[in-house]
Amino acid sequence: MKKLLTITAAALMAISASAQSEAGSFTLQPNVGVTYSTATGDGKSWDGAIGLTAGVEGMYMVNEKFGAALGLNYTGYNVSKEILNKDYILSNYYFNIPVMANYYVAPGLAIKAGFAANILSTSKLDGEDNLYNTKVKDGYESIFFSIPVGASYEISDFVFNLRYSFGLGDAIKDGDGTFNALSFTVGYKF
């Protein structure tokens, strides 16, 4: 059994190693996935909700261990809350532009950290009685920043990313609040 595990691990490392790009190379990676978002502010927190994300990332490998990436994603942050015994869903959609540093700690396995600008595209509040179905974009900053950190694993040309984004500063005008998100995406490198 130990021999079988050793052979399997070696095979996976060989497959992974071939996926990692060489120094001086540039790859383009479309990706899709899911996010789990939460909103906090004004002493309150909203229950998290699952949304979708899709985008593209370009990465330049500086050397065999280090790469720099720039991405563009469209991400929906949906959070729900019960207010006065009624359910509400706040839907915010952003263009997310991350600049990430990727450091490969093992063949195919990278840790990532960076900085991202989040540009508000649309914002809407939906209530169960339809009384509050309204655009609330004016109540949010048009741009806020976040710090994404995470890891990725590459098998052949497929890339599996797990990332958490810490919201910085206020995303809500005239108040205190920001958004945090956990995302999982699958991409393919060209």
Q: Please name which of 161, 160, 179 lies closest in space to residue 169, comparing C-alpha atoms.
A: 179
For 81-92, the pLDDT digits (tens) are: 676 777 777 788
Burial 162-189, CB ≥16 within 10 A → b, else e = ebebebeeebbeeeebbbbbbbebebeb
pLDDT at 69 over 80: yes
Q: Please name which of 132, 145, 140, 130 lies closest in space to residue 180, comparing C-alpha atoms.
A: 145
Token pair belonging to 99: 């600049």
DSSP element (H, E) containing 18? helix 2-19
The stretch 150-168 carries a mean pLDDT of: 95
CA pair distance 89, 101, nearest whole angstrom: 34
Partners of 168 in the beta sheet? 145
pLDDT at 184 over 90: yes
Out of 16-20, 30-34, 73-77, which region has the weakest mean confidence (pLDDT)? 16-20
